[in-house]
């Protein structure tokens, strides 16, 4: 689940899919990285629902089941991209564990029926309408914390961020 929080109160909750191979931070692992992140870039403003992205750029295609059948090997990144950057050096930032260099996103998917199951290559997949809504609700720089199951991480000191994702 992805939860949008404001002052630690849930504003929205969305079902998601994470990595088929579980959690992990190492480059090449195809796992979803844990820990504190932020949204480094928002990509896709103004694109239609089901717009196809490759290399973080719209291809001009709109995903349809027929297009999916023609290119079954593609890992479909659709509608919007929230590109994540790790905030914890040695855990999810820099070196062999750098979330941003691994191209880990929150994005729309062609396989909305698999939402709720671990099927991705490391990214957090959402239903297309959900990622479009979330994209409009959060600015670049929004904190994101990825936790696995019952894993509870202590919050750092200082004032909590008013709006963040968990």
DSSP string, 119-131: -BSSSEEE-HHHH
**pLDDT score of 152:** 40
Question: Would you list the DSSP string of 21-62?
Answer: T-B--STTS--BPPEEEEEEEEE-TTPPTTEEEETTEEEEEE
Tell me whether residue 26 is in a domain: yes
Tell me whether residue 6 is in a domain: no
Tell me whether residue 12 is in a domain: no
Using the structure block, give the residue that is written with the tokens 């019952």.
150
Tell me whether residue 157 is in a domain: no
Kindly report the CATH number assigned to the domain that includes residue 98: 2.40.440.10
The number of folded domains in the chain is 1
**pLDDT score of 165:** 74
**pLDDT score of 32:** 97
Q: What is the pTM (predicted TM-score) of this model?
A: 0.90
Give the domain extent around 104: 17-150
**pLDDT score of 34:** 97
Tell me whether residue 102 is in a domain: yes
Pairwise CA distance, residues 22 & 83, whole Å: 19
Residue 153 neighbours by CB under 8 Å, 6+ apart:
35, 36, 145, 147
Tell me whether residue 165 is in a domain: no
Tell me whether residue 66 is in a domain: yes
Q: Which two three-digit tokens encode residue 22?
A: 């579980």
* Mean pLDDT per 10-residue interval, the chain, length 166 residues: 93 96 96 97 98 98 97 96 97 97 98 96 97 98 88 42 65
Tell me whether residue 164 is in a domain: no
């Amino acid at each position: 689940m992805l939860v949008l929080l404001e002052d630690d109160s849930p504003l929205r909750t969305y079902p998601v899919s994470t990595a088929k191979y579980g959690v992990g931070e190492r480059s090449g692992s195809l796992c979803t990285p844990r820990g504190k992140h932020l949204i480094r870039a928002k990509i896709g403003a103004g694109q239609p629902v089901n717009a196809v992205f490759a290399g973080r750029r719209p291809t001009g295609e709109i995903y349809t089941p027929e297009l999916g059948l023609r290119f079954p090997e593609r890992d479909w990144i659709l509608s919007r991209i929230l590109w994540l950057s790790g905030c914890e050096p040695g855990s999810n930032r820099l070196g062999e564990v750098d979330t941003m260099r691994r191209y880990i996103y929150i994005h729309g998917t062609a396989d909305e029926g698999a939402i709720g199951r671990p099927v991705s290559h490391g990214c957090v997949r959402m239903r297309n309408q959900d990622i479009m809504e979330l994209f409009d609700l959060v600015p670049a720089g929004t904190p994101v914390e990825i936790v696995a199951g019952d894993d509870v991480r202590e919050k750092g000191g200082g004032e909590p961020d008013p709006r963040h994702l968990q």
